[in-house]
Amino acid sequence: EVQLVQSGAEVKKPGESLKISCKGSGYSFTTYWIGWVRQMPGKGLEWMGIIYPGDSDTRYSPSFRGQVTISADKSINTAYLQWSSLKASDTAMYYCARSAYSGHEADYWGQGTLVTVSS
């Protein structure tokens, strides 16, 4: 069974760093892309970027390039989304999702990680 399991909810202060994770199982982790999607409170879905764990090829939405870093550790089937300095506006639910090809449909999704940034 394909599963993407994300790390738990986080509460952080502005300026702090954070790295959340997404662990894949039940499939060949290195042959599918993992994308990240933001959903701000009460709002719609926004595509942030995507990584191919097989060779770490990474692509970012222009809206998020320079704001976050996407990475993966194929030895432990885990993808990451990290911030070096959080802002209150980063408060959102973050989902990881699997795609066979970059930009194609996301067929499996993680359960989401809620990030709250507040002083």
User: Contact positions toward another protein, by CB under 8 A?
Assistant: 35, 37, 44-47, 59, 61-63, 95, 97, 103-112
Q: How far is the CB of 17 from another protein (least distance, A)?
A: 25
What strands lie across the sheet with 69-73, from one edge to the other?
Answer: 3-6, 18-25, 78-83, 69-73
Amino acid identity, residue 49? G
Which of 29, 60 has the CB closer to another protein?
60
Min dist. Cβ of residue 74 to another protein (A): 23
Nearer to another protein, 62 or 119 (CB): 62
For 40, the 3-state DSSP assignment is: coil
CB of 55 to another protein, least distance (A): 19
